[in-house]
Structure 1
Amino acid sequence: MTDEAPYRIAIIGAGPRGLSVYERLVALASAKGPEALAQRPLEIHLVDPYPPGPGIVWRTDQDPNLLMNTTIGEQTVFPDPSCRVSPDSTGPDMGTWYRERGGTADPASTFGSRALYGEYLEWSYEHIRTSAPAHVTTIHHPQRATAIVEPAGIDPAGAEVRDRTQLVRLTDTTTIAADAVVLAVGHIPSELTDERAAFARFARSGRLTYLPPGLPAEAPVDRLAPGERVIFRGFGLNYFDLQSMLTVGRGGRFEPREPARAGSTDTRDAGDNGDNGNDGNDASGSGAAPGALVYIPSGREPILVPSSRRGVPYRSKPITPAHPLADHRLRAFTPENVARLAGPEEPLLFNDQLWPLILADLRHAWYSALARSEPQAFATDPGRVTEALAEGVDRHLSRRAAAEVRESDHRPGRLTSASPAWSAIEREVLADPSRALDLHELLRPLEGARFASRSGGHGSLTEWMLDFLRADLAAAHLGPERSPEKALFAVLWAARAYLKELVAAGRIARESFVAEVRGWFEDFVSGICDGPPPQRYAELIALTEAGLVEFVGPEVRITTSRADEQAVFRAVSPAVDALVTASALVDAASPANQVRYAADPLISGMLERGQLAVATHEDSSGRVQPLSGIAVAGPSHRTVDEHGRVHPHRYCLSIQLSAVQLGLAITANPGRRAQSLVDAHRIAEDVLASARS
């Protein structure tokens, strides 16, 4: 140790992203030999009111019925050789950790509880902290950061060490003096929109209940009374978490429709609570659908009314014990083909150049799975599809090189409809036209539908929804090899990962990223890839059969009653004439990832003072469009202020990077060159280089 003053680093936010930066700082500070970046004393301050590692989202004391939306095997804190950083393999991924602590379920097919992931993060923090060398000191401040003050101002060219100080103010009125600051704040609250603020006022005046967007684990669901009808605005993952809290969380239970086969794997230690039923193929001879459940109510449940623009939830994931998550080899959307389209310095256009390759992979996967499961759907040899796709990809690669894409060739907008030429091939090959791949229909199956009644048997919306949910659950248990619908999941899961690499490398043209990747493709992928585990679909079916769930339909519109009427919330869809009324409305959407609407005192205050700037994009017409994230510069994501100055000692690693990266809500996956871990390494290298200098 030396008598040199410590280099002080403040990491604001100690959830998974802040933990990644902390891990890299410790790992690099521990490195020996000529490659070591810093042997100077380091003082690392972790600022988070919640425990380092889990943070607020992954708290270990939350309801154990709340599940991760990814499997145990898909999480890691520690870089492995795929990340191509050094040092690597400084700790285990979650699957290894889970097995080492005695877990018996397959990490590749088990959706663990959120609390279990929190335990892994908590363990990882302690592992990192206790492995730190003697010259690294860690201090956790269980407070929120409210402001950053810079007495000496900003010198983009760098300044003497004594002038770099950033004063981080905390909620307990104390101040941390830091030489470098990393913003890793994660999901932050958003200001209520005018509409949501009006809902809140209406609820107060009418003595109704309105719960704004937020984390389900933090929602005051005790305000929702048994037997009360509750409209949910949103039909995504937050809804399914709330569904669990309001059913099994209130004493109800799910049971297999038929007894599970003997010897099935017990995954209760992984957060399944023993109520997930038969998650494999039914072997009882009873004919019960795989994974089918019945619900035994406690009598304390409200009536759940989920609603959304599409009217249906995202498709369930096809990950079960019989079909664990596996790598899918893309055939057309490959680095080799992308290299044929453009040189390493040429920007790529998503709609014109990349989407046709992804679409070819989707069609190949769909028709390959269809040939295996429904050969009678074909009028001729299914190999004709493969031949046509190969020919089409070759033509595309020869015609769509960057130098040949003209402005008149550009195809803006959502590209999910088949071309006439491809439709002709499908007519030639298929005996059953209903089995042609229709991406639009897949994403919006209720578009234009009309129902005589909301519930009540044949021809009702409820009957249609049950058929839809059962079919998707059955497809999930068939797996990507035999279900055409779930084969698309495997393709898009792999394609999104590769596209994320291209975006991070700056290969996608800016306007194409904003208008096409963000404009439509991201939502398209989410509809097929980001749905709940199959268990949640089975539970939704069982709750509907038990009379505890009602559906609104597509294009839902939520309003309030008039002043001269009894105070209620109203939900209406063009698919059904009847209104749904309720005394409670829950906004089950995640807080908007729009930094300019941040309700966090630190981020909103820094924006107001000009210390941060909202990222913008100027399109070809000269119109300047604000983006969702903050402006950053360079591979280490240094923040940029309102005057365009790059801060030399402030960094960002969080979903606030959404203006320059894709898939930021996805955790670091082992063996996949996790971008968040690569970014954390670059930030740590930059910070320690400054400490050394």
Structure 2
Amino acid sequence: MSLRHITPSSPAHRIAIIGSGPRGLSVLERLAALMLMDAPLKQVMVYLIDSAQMGSGRVWRTDQPRHYVMNTVAEEVSSFSGPLDDGPIRPGAGPSLAQWWSSVDPAYPGPNAYAPRAVHGEYMQFVLSTIEASFTPNISLQRVPAVVVDLLNEENVQTLELDNGAFLQVDKVVIATGHPTPELIGWERELQQFAQQTTGLEFFRGDSAADMPLSRIQSEQQVGIVGLGLAFHDIVAALTVGRGGRFSVVDGVTTYIPSHREPKLFAGSRSGMLIPARGRNQKGPNFQYQPLCITRDKIDALQKRGHIEFATEVLPLLLVEINIVYFATAIRAQAGQAAEQQFKHRVAQQQLFSLPALVAAAADFGVSDLPLLELDRLARPFRAQEFHSPADFALALDRVLEDDLCSAREGNVDNPMKAALDTIRDTRALIRSVVDFGRLTPRSHQEDFLQYYAPTSLFLTAGPPLYRTEQIRALIAAGVLTLVGPETVYGIDTQHRKFSIESPRVRHSRQLIDVVIDGRIPSPDLLRDPSPLTRNLVRRGYWTNYINQGIDEAFVTGGVAVTPGPYHPIDRAGQPIKGLYVLGLPSEHTRWFMQAGSSRPGFWTDFAQDAHYVASDALQLAYAQAPVAITEVA
């Protein structure tokens, strides 16, 4: 069928989904689940549009190397909106990633393994085929391998212009595009321009490592990596094991055997600290934490009131909750589970919801030598230190990494610190409910939350499997990788026509380098997004910047302004566009943590609920009685 001839004259209800990654697939899955439960009156045609691999998208495509891995254990990941039941596998009731993986791979490593991204992409392909198999004759899916470059909303008809020159007219459009690549500004732009003007230098902007042209880097070159988060691990893997190096584990000690095709790697960040490892998973996929201090009632009261100051009204509640788990876990390790329960009961009954009160209560249970858990201290362990040499810093770093690994090996239930940090993940939905849609004051939203808490909490909770940290230590020991130090600075050396990297707090740390790789995933920013579709949606006034407007201050967030579910974009006139929906990263900052790429298998998370809101609204016209056609007689 030629897309050039599709017009709204057909009685079918047409829905286009732009982007077939996790968010787009989740909407398709909910559309299918709803139509399975209640067959629509009209024919429904769904167009899934993506220029990358259909059903997996760019980030999860199945042809990427296996050394790019997820940071969530397989049993906590599902692309179905409901778990398996006694019926057949179908939209609304399907296997988790772990359950599917175990059924297709004889070498399946277990439910607490971290799957390669390509394996998750294969799972998404399975989900897509399951969705298609569920369709009845009056429901169809057309895969459209293209890029949408423009959209016109007119008289309840959405006309999409594709990059192949075709036009597609539909009733509803779900925009679920993924990670953007915003235009560079500041020192990143200066480094990019210097590389473009200087032979032998390269600057790679932040992106998925699988999409970076890393093969251009030569083994004799010196490479600097910006940031020490998840993308850093992917980049390092590509330039080491991706070039034939290998890790050997003997008696629990990891060593690196080089291929001698690796470049020399230098890396650093503001904290100088490698993102901490995830604790060995000891929780089942259906685990739900029940908070004692940061309760739903308290959060609901704040949410209804609005004008919230995050640093003084929300963060103290969370810090108390984190420390409750911290001390309770330590008490269990020392005195048993009954003592832990008694401690929690006393905290709840006596409302001991202050940090000094928790310290005193823990001392009553025999835990008196444990310092309070401070997020700053964990995220920036070198913040007040100066180092006499790179070797001096390397020694201090290794001690911190070894301590982190010891904690991670004990697990996210048994180790006090890892159990406490998991509380940040377990309360994320509560935090989101006071942050989304401008409930914080503009200043608090920008400074307390986006500049401080959001990156700090992500750094402390979104780490890689612990074996990644072991591998980084092995690479440092092998001389392949150097972590430069805190407050790392990347600069330009015009005399030597090189880039430079150094830590002002580590003497003699300066190095000249040939390549700078930005190992940070870019944050969405509506007005810096060069995508033709985004530019046209802004030009037409369909997408506007969400502004957190206070009484006497305002914060322009950079996220697309949307309504609460079903997430219609709010146009230039301040009105929702009922034919459009926006999910995921374009609305980051209007909402929080839109980078989530899956749901949990045992219960509905916000991820699944978002898809349901959109799907149920987009299908409404498919259940409306079609008007009787009247034909004029000449």
Same fold at TM > 0.5 = yes
Contact 2:30 2:612 (8 Å CA) reproduced: yes
* Aligned with 1:74 (options 53, 73, 76): 76
1:447-526 superposed matches below 5 A: 447-455=383-391, 460-500=392-432, 508-509=439-440, 511=442, 516-526=448-458
The residue number in structure 1 matching 2:121 is 118
Q: Residue 503 of structure 1: CA displacement?
A: 5.3
Q: What corresponds to 2:374 in structure 1?
A: 438
Partner of 1:6: 12
Aligned counterpart, 1:370: 330
How is 1:300-311 mapped onto 2 (pairs within 5 angstroms)?
A: 300-311=261-272
For 1:656, the equivalent position in structure 2 comes to: 586
| Counterpart for residue 301 of structure 2 | 342
1:216 aligns with 2:219: no
Written as runs of structure 1 = structure 2, the 5 A alignment for 1:59-70 is 59-70=61-72
Deviates most, 385-394 or 8-17:
385-394
Q: Is this contact kept in 1: 2:73–2:115, CA < 8 A?
A: yes
Question: Is 1:541 the counterpart of 2:477 in the alignment?
Answer: no
Alpha-carbon contact 2:327-2:367 (below 8 Å) kept: no
* Equivalent residues of 1:81, 1:88 under 8 A apart: no
Deviation at 1:392, TM superposition (A): 7.1
Deviations 1:121-152 (A, max 9, x none): 011111111211111121111111111124x4
CA distance in 1: counterparts of 2:605 and 2:283, whole angstroms = 23
The one-character-per-residue Cα deviations of 1:440-480 (angstroms, maximum 9, x if unpaired) are 2112101021111112xxxx111111121122111100113
8 Å Cα contact 1:4/1:41 also seen in 2 = no
Give me the whole-angstrom Cα distance separating, in 2, the residues matched to 1:391 and 1:682.
Answer: 38
Q: Deviations over 1:90-109 (max 9, x none)?
A: 33222221223245646541
* 1:4-31 deviations in Å (ceiling 9; x for gaps): 6212211111111111111222222333
Indicate if the aligned counterparts of 2:244 and 2:259 stay in contact, CA closer than 8 A. yes
Query: Structure 1, residues 295-332: CA drift from partner, whole Å, max 9, x if none?
Result: 11111111111111111122110025x77777363442
Cα deviation digits, residues 12-58 of structure 1 (max 9, x gap): 111111111112222223333xxx5x220112111101222211110
Which residue of structure 2 lines up, in the alignment, with residue 137 of structure 1? 140
CA contact (8 A) 1:369 1:480 kept: no
For residue 393 of structure 1, what is the amino acid of its counterpart? Q
Residues of 1 paired with 2:373 and 2:352: CA distance?
21
Name the SS for the 1:475 alignment partner.
helix
Alpha-carbon separation, structure 1, partners of 2:352 and 2:359: 19
Partner of 2:522: 591
Q: What displacement does 1:628 show?
A: 3.0
Equivalent residue runs for 1:289-328 within 5 Å = 292-319=253-280, 327=287
Cα shift at 1:387: 8.2
1:44 aligns with 2:36: no
Residue pair 1:332, 1:360 contacting (<8 A) in 2 also:
no
What is the identity, as a one-letter code, of the residue corresponding to 1:79? S
Letter in 2 for 1:486: K
User: Partner of 1:547: helix, strand, or coil?
Assistant: coil
What is the Cα deviation at residue 69 of structure 1?
1.2
Runs of 4+ aligned residues of structure 1 deviating over 6 Å after TM superposition are 322-326, 381-385, 421-432
- Deviation per CA, 1:244-271, whole angstroms, max 9, x where unpaired? 111111111111132xxxxxxxxxxxxx
Which stretch shifts more, 607-616 or 325-334? 325-334
One-letter amino acid of the counterpart of residue 306, structure 1: A
Q: Against the structure 1 CA distance between its residues 80 and 513, is the aligned structure 2 distance closer, same or farther, given a 3 Å change threshold?
A: farther
Q: CA offsets per residue over residues 572-618 of structure 1, 9 Å max, x none?
A: 22221221221111111112222221121111221133221010112
Distance 1:19 1:303 in 2: 40
**Cα shift readout 1:533-552 (whole Å, capped 9, x = no counterpart):** 10110110111111111121
Q: 1:541 to 1:192 in 2, by over 3 A?
A: same
Provide the rounded CA distance (Å) in 2 between the counterparts of 1:514 and 1:198: 26
Task: Give the equivalent residue in structure 2 for 1:176.
Answer: 168
Distance 1:252 1:575 in 2: 32
Counterpart of 1:573 in structure 2 is 503
More displaced 10-residue stretch of structure 1: 431-440 or 634-643: 431-440
Residue of structure 2 in register with 1:24 after alignment: 30
1:91 aligns with 2:111: no
From the superposition, tell whether residues 326 and 257 of structure 1 become closer, same or farther in structure 2 (CA, over 3 Å): farther
Which residue of structure 2 lines up, in the alignment, with residue 632 of structure 1?
562
> Is 2:149 aligned against 1:146?
yes
The answer to whether the 8 A contact 1:426-1:436 is kept is no
Distance across 2 between alignment mates of 1:337 and 1:638 = 28
Rounded Cα–Cα distance in structure 1 between residues aligned with 2:435 and 2:130: 33
Deviation at 1:668, TM superposition (A): 1.7
Q: State the alpha-carbon separation in 1 of the partners of residues 413 and 34 from structure 2.
A: 43
Shift of 1:513: 5.2
Q: Find the aligned partners of 2:234 and 2:366 in 1 and give their Cα distance.
A: 41
Offset from partner CA, 1:169-213 (integer Å, 9 cap, x none): 111111111111110111122111142222122112222121111
Matched residues in 1 for 2:197 and 2:119: separation? 41
Which residue, out of 216, 233, 242, partners 2:235? 242
Q: Name the CA shift for 1:545/1:47 in 2 (closer, same or farther; >3 Å).
A: same
SS in 1 for 2:418: helix
Give the 3-state SS of the residue equivalent to 2:577 in structure 1. strand
Conservation of the 8 A alpha-carbon contact between 1:330 and 1:361: no
* Deviation for aligned residue 1:218: 1.0
Q: Unpaired runs of 5+ in structure 2?
A: 1-8, 85-89, 625-634
Distance in 2 between residues matched to 1:561 and 1:140, nearest whole Å = 50
The answer for unaligned runs of 5 or more in structure 1 is 153-162, 259-287, 376-380, 397-417
CA deviation after TM superposition for structure 1 residue 59, in Å: 0.6
Which has the higher mean CA deviation after the structures are superposed, 494-503 or 383-392?
Answer: 383-392
* TM-score (normalizing by structure 1): 0.80
Q: CA deviation at 1:485?
A: 2.1
Query: Structure 2 counterpart of 1:80, which letter?
Result: G
Q: CA deviation at 1:293?
A: 0.8
Q: TM-score, normalised by structure 2?
A: 0.87
Secondary structure at the residue paired with 1:577? coil
Deviation at 1:495, TM superposition (A): 1.5
Tell me by how many angstroms 1:556 deviates: 1.4
Give the counterpart letter for 1:568 in structure 2: K
Equivalent-residue separation in structure 1 for 2:57 and 2:558 (angstroms) = 23
Alignment counterpart, residue 491 of structure 2, candidates 532, 551, 559? 559
How many residues matched? 603
SS at match of 1:168: strand
Paired residue type of 1:99? S
Partner of 2:574: 644
Change (3 A) 1:425 1:137: closer
Q: In the alignment, does 2:188 pair up with 1:196? A: yes
| Residues 8 and 43, structure 1, Cα contact 8 Å, conserved in 2 | yes
Q: Secondary structure at the match of 2:569?
A: strand
Q: Percent identity?
A: 25
| Partners of 1:295 and 1:603 in 2: CA distance | 44
Q: Summarize the Cα distance change of 1:326–1:441 in structure 2 as closer, same or farther, 3 Å threshold.
A: farther
1:386–1:230 CA distance, 2 compared to 1 (3 A): same
Contact conserved, 1:317 with 1:529, CA < 8 A, in 2?
A: yes
Residues 481 and 148 of structure 1: CA distance in aligned 2, closer, same or farther (over 3 Å): closer
